[in-house]
Chains A and B, each alone.
Chain A
């Protein structure tokens, strides 16, 4: 595999890339620019995802983990094993008073994101927060406003924005490789109850927070959020209408969030995202497909498929020439081409070398999915003081779409994108 740092640097040097993905700017500066400097970071929320970040931080030259916080003692102890010298807190507000902390990484349940982010920015800390942005539309707006009124950096762990195959894929789409984008199909299927083991019944809602509305907005914010962001990024616009159906189909275990969601997002040009997530069948896995008039980009796998191979278009050109009295060469030759059946579409890789593909089955993380690069960019921002571009906006847009999707399902009606939540960044 290509060294991804090299890749991002090369990409950063390419004209136009920073227009496509301006958040890559800090990744494209040379390693040497940060030599010997360390961001003093703290982790709030030491569960599985938090501990995954700790593993990444262990190998990161720009980072020094100085403090850890969790109000659930077993997780705090487990995290402490990664960084034994880090100071331990059970109350994040106390941690925020620690002057030795430059930035905080928030990996708590969704319902806590907004409060903690706002408090951390208020305390003068840089913030890296897990997606989604917040549990409600109002909270999203509040966080968005706060991010505009602070000099501190705010990152969201929307790792697809830093994933090489997604970046290259979106770039190729923007260059017209698959023609006009006519639709998008994203889905995420698993066959698991989405539960964690609970040592004692009173901990059920805290440990299985994903299942309860007090902390979670369910599949939309936990899974769809990444995928909807990619669709907006690809089209460089936002949907105007949302409709959907959600149910608890299989896991009828007193959970409050849907285990089955089907949501359609319509853009002003009629192009739609068909979104589906189901956690009682995993056959279809996870896919982010962008459908174009001339081809299909499978961003999840980093490959594209063309609707017509050169043979078909070459022969069509030849017929047109004969009819129009023209003569020219036609691209009609090549090693044997196989027919246009779905299984026989030929995958073309968007990047050379092997690609890490996330099957979407882990509840924690996937390898090489860009998470490390988001974290690295965050640490660099803590050092340089430079705010990243467009990350808050992308997270705001994606989170709003998740929450509006839930609203459409709950109210069983078509939702138009609400005026009061529009921001200048959005194009419709």
Chain B
């Protein structure tokens, strides 16, 4: 499923896609890198993310997460153990509103995408890449540096019900996470404390230097939009849209 990507030498633009990984589509763009290192970087990340996705896939009964969820006595892999740790930390930081173990079983859902973007950010920075735009299904974006022709990466957020643009976000060395309900797919976010499914026509955005933190915050804001999350997480910009 992983493609080799395409490289345009004139702009030193590399683009690659995985049509389905971590439950969605991954688009990867890097600029300003020579072809060989650009391809090597993608190869490294794409094989890692495909592998991680398979281990975390709770819809595959043979995946590591499914086996853990079914009660099998299993030593979690380093990645899964790290995610569980991070999950516990963020659960505490959000007073239990962000919980990867909501309902008793592990579901890394959005968190996995944020975590994968952390990994990507680390790889890109180590490789000296300062211009990249990575997008997991529109809901988890990492924007390193700026658009080659502009002062930032500028992302429009369309209203999923009407298609009309709700807002523009300028991203520069930042990650953006979007949560919310869309037509035909509503109520997939649950308040772990009350079990209530969030069915409001609401979208939330969190932008932060840390992709993982952005992920946690867009979900927490979706569950509890009235809280003053920015006081606890001053590095983040957050917004809630009632559509």
Contact = CB atoms under 8 A, between A and B. Distances in A.
A418 interface: no
A333 B149 contact: no
B137 A337 contact: yes
Contacts, number: 122
Given A322-B148, A333-B138, A337-B138, A346 B11 contact: no
A321 B155 CA distance: 13
Contacts of B178: 333-336
Contacts of A322: 11, 13, 29, 31, 147-149
Interface string B113-132: 00000000000000000000
Contacts of A311: 25, 27, 135, 137-138
B59 interface: no
Among the interface residues B23, B137, B178, B181, which one has the most CB atoms of the partner chain A within 10 A?
A: B137
Interface stretch (B40-48, B61-69, B70-78, B158-166): B158-166
Contacts of B169: 333
Given A319-B13, A322-B148, A338-B23, A333 B155 contact: yes
B195 interface: no
Contacts of B15: 319
A322 B12 CA distance: 10
A334 B182 contact: yes
B158 A337 contact: no
A349 B23 CA distance: 24
Interface stretch (A4-12, A99-107, A141-149, A324-332): A324-332
Contacts of A357: none
Contacts of A321: 147, 149
B215 to A, nearest CB: 11
B150 to A, nearest CB: 3
A16 interface: no
Interface of B, helix, strand, loop or mixed by DSSP: strand
A73 B181 CA distance: 58
A329 B156 contact: yes
A339 B154 contact: no
A17 interface: no
A315 interface: yes
Interface string B134-158: 0111111100000111100011111
A321 B168 CA distance: 17
Given A322-B148, A334-B178, A338-B137, A312 B165 contact: no
A327 B151 CA distance: 9
B156 A331 contact: yes
A315 B27 contact: yes
B116 to A, nearest CB: 13
Interface string A307-326: 00111101100110111011
Closest 10 CB pairs of A and B: A327-B150, A336-B139, A327-B149, A329-B154, A334-B138, A335-B180, A337-B137, A311-B138, A329-B156, A331-B156
